Amino acid sequence: MQNYNFIQKILHDLVLSNKVINNGLFEIDKMLYLKNEDIQKNLHVFITGLPRSGSTSILNFIYSTNEFGSLKYLNMPFVLAPNISKKIIKKNIPKKQRLHNDGITYDLDTPEAFDEIFFRNSEEFVEKELLNYLTLILISENCKRYLSKNNLNYKRIDLINSILKNCIFLIPIRNPIQQSYSLLNQQQNFTFLQKKDSFIKRYMNYLGHNEFGIIHKPWHKPNNFNNLDDINYWLEQWCFFYKNIFKKYQNKNNCYFITYENLQNQSYLNNFLNILQIKNRDCVDLDYFKDKNKKLDLKLDKHINKESIEVYENIKSKSYLLSK
What is the pLDDT averaged over residues 261-288? 83
Specify the pLDDT at position 3.
67
Please indicate, yes or no, if residue 15 is contained in any of the structural domains: no
Count up the domains in the chain and report the number. Answer: 1
pTM of the model: 0.94
SS (H, E, C) the chain: CCCCCHHHHHHHHHHHCCHHHHHHHHHHHHHHHCCCCCCCCCCCEEECCCCCCCHHHHHHHHHCCCCCECCEHHHCCCCCCHHHHHHCCCCCCCCEECCCCCCCEECCCCECCCCHHHHCCCHHHHHHHHHHHHHHHHHHHCCCCEEEECHHHHHHHHHHHHHCCCCEEEEEECCHHHHHHHHHHHHHHHHHHHHHCHHHHHHHHHCCCCCCHHHCCCCCCCCCCCCCCCHHHHHHHHHHHHHHHHHHHCCCCCEEEEEHHHHHCHHHHHHHHHHHCCCCCCCCCHHHHCCCCCCCCCCCCHHHHHHHHHHHHHHHHHCCHHHC
- Would you say residue 1 lies in a domain? no
Residue 175 lies in domain: 21-323
In this structure, is residue 176 part of a structural domain? yes
Average pLDDT, the chain: 92
pLDDT, tens digit, 9 for 90 and up, residues 159-215: 999 999 999 999 999 999 999 999 999 999 999 999 999 999 999 999 999 999 999
CATH code: domain of residue 129 = 3.40.50
The rounded percent of the chain whose pLDDT value lies above 70 is 95
pLDDT digits (tens, 9 = 90+) for 10-53: 999 999 999 999 999 999 999 999 998 899 999 999 999 999 99
Q: Specify the pLDDT at position 51.
A: 96
317 lies in a domain?
yes
Q: Does some domain include residue 101? A: yes
What's the confidence (pLDDT) of residue 2? Answer: 59
Which pLDDT belongs to residue 270?
87
**pLDDT, tens only, 114-130:** 999 999 999 999 999 99
